[in-house]
Amino acid sequence: MSSGAADLTLLDLAARLANPAERGATAQALASSFGAQSLLIFLRDPEVGAFLTAPGFPQSLPNGKLWRAFLAECVERGQCNGNLPVQSSEALLPVIAYASGTDAVFVLAGTSAPTGDVEWFRALLPLFATALRAEEASARATGQARLAQEAAGSAAALAQTLDRTRRELESTLFVAREARTELEGANALLQDQATELEMTNEQLRDQAYAMETQAAELEQQAEELQLANASLEEARSIADSANQAKSEFLATMSHELRTPLNAIGGYVELLAMGIQGPVNDKQRFALTRIDRSQRHLLGLINDILNLSRIEAGRVEYAMSDVPLRDALADVAPMIEPQFAAKGIAYEERDAARWPTVRADREKLQQILLNLLSNALKFTDAGGRVWIEASQSGETGEVDICVSDTGLGIPAGKIESIFEPFTQVDGSHSRVGEGTGLGLAISRDLARGMGGNIYARSTLGEGSTFILTLESIAE
């Protein structure tokens, strides 16, 4: 088997064996490809220390004692052959087993010499073991959640009984407290008089001691302040280094994550096209959901990658003179169908008079798309979204305004929405999915081009986001 073909097979098997509904058919197909009747996967149970069959495979086998001894030998040797009962205790089948470490074994039943190379599947066995154990953990967690819910009901009834008892005790104790309060009041009066006399003497002693120690304390405070300043400077340097390392890590990992996601998208398209065989409506629906989830996850990772590149200082700007109307002409076709589908009126006001700005065309279009997408997300059907541009005579800058009649933003939250991974609040964040990076990336890109982004909003009436850029005289 060539390396390229093996890679494709690994990805396909990983996707299918991870699905409990397809696990039986996939295991049978694998067994056939290796010239065997069936394939079994065993995982070591950490609680009992014995091997048990994984979820989706037979949970009991004839003569478990023989199987336990055979699996232990396989773990010790890495690979072994034998004749064992699989379907009944009378019928013995030739089997060959392969161990991956000490916690996972897969067995081909019905053959003592596989017809294909099984090493690639053996190398993938730890990944299957992890996925299968996660499936078992999920099932156990579901059962535990059900038991916890039942226990919560019992606890609520007990809490009501305890509350009623508490109220009765409080009523009884109230009378006792009143009597005790009167006695404590008389005693406190006597104690206060004695305390006042003692405090007078202590104050005189304290004043004398304070005068003697004041100079020493001031000197010590000055030394501590110097040490604190040095510690703060060191901490700031460490924090800067950690932030840079974090940005480098995010940039690298986000790029690495996109490669398998693109492969998943490619396989989904191949399956949908019927390359692997006919696809029925139910399967096509599932493939559509997988594709949508893959594209959404890829978009989130792209946002993180963009932010990490900005923070790591990897973004380069190709500045040029960009007519605003031309820049928006490439963006509008991507967003206008979504406005129409949601029933939102979209308008470009006085576009013929828009000026030319100094910017990186691609990054300017990315900002405009982010701002228009946000307006679409937070505006209900029947609302309006419009974009306009004007030039300031005092600063020579151009203000590009994207306005909507949507939910609006509370006054205390306007600045925080430009922070990475931040959304307005729980109710607003449920309007649409996302990482909360769009506005943070847009502001960083705007500042990288010598501009800025800020917002004005009235809760319940709508918002306006203003992008400022350098104007080019025409």
Series of mean pLDDT values for 10-residue runs along the chain (474 residues): 53 72 85 89 86 86 89 92 89 92 90 86 82 79 77 71 73 70 72 74 76 79 81 73 61 59 68 78 80 62 59 76 91 88 93 91 89 91 94 80 92 78 49 62 89 91 93 73
Of 102, 101, 105, 98, which is closest to residue 132 (Cα–Cα)? 105
Contacts with 85 (C-beta within 8 Å, 6 or more apart), sequence order: 61, 62, 63, 66, 91, 92, 93
Q: Decide which of 73, 93, 117 is a domain's last residue.
A: 117
Write out the E strands in 338-416.
Answer: 345-348, 356-360, 384-391, 397-404
Residue 264 lies in a domain: no
Q: pLDDT, tens digit, for every residue of 64-105?
A: 889 999 999 999 999 999 999 998 888 899 999 999 888 899
Residue 168 belongs to a domain: no
Q: Give residue-wise pLDDT tens across range 61-75.
A: 888 889 999 999 999
Could you tell me the CA-to-CA distances from 237 to 227, 229, 314 in Å, in that order? 16, 12, 21
Whether the CB-CB separation of 63 and 85 falls below 8 Å is answered with yes
130 domain-assigned: no
CA distance 162 to 343: 56
- Domain range for residue 371? 319-472
The verdict on pTM exceeding 0.85 is: no
| Three-state secondary structure call for residue 280 | coil
Please check whether residue 58 lies inside any domain of the structure: yes
Angle at alpha carbon of residue 466, lines to 461 and 470, rounded to 5°: 165
Q: What is the tens place of the pLDDT at every residue in 267-299?
A: 677 777 777 778 888 887 877 778 766 665 655
Question: CATH no. for residue 26?
Answer: 3.30.450
- Report the number of distinct structural domains present in the chain: 2
pLDDT of residue 331: 87
In a domain, 424, yes or no: yes
User: Which one of 94, 117, 140 terminates a domain?
Assistant: 117
Q: Residue 183: enclosing H or E segment and its boundaries? A: helix 119-272
Q: In the prediction, which pLDDT does 427 show? A: 46
The predicted structure's pLDDT at residue 396:
75
pLDDT at 404: 95
Q: What is the pLDDT at residue 335? A: 86
> What pLDDT shows up at residue 306?
59
Determine the Cα–Cα distance for residues 354 and 388; give it in Å rounded to an integer.
8
Q: First and final CA of the chain: distance in angstroms?
A: 65
- What one-letter code names the amino acid at 154? S
In a domain? residue 30:
yes
- 235 residue type, one letter: A
Q: What is the DSSP letter of 353?
A: G
CATH of the domain at 324: 3.30.565.10
Last residue of a domain, one of 69, 99, 117: 117
**Residue 110 falls inside a structural domain:** yes
- Write down the mean pLDDT value for the chain: 79
pLDDT score for 170: 74
pLDDT per residue as tens digits for the range 432-474: 455 567 788 888 899 999 999 999 998 989 999 999 999 886 5
pLDDT of residue 315: 73
Are 112 and 80 in contact by the 8 Å Cβ rule? The answer is no
Asked if the structure places residue 226 within a domain, the reply is no
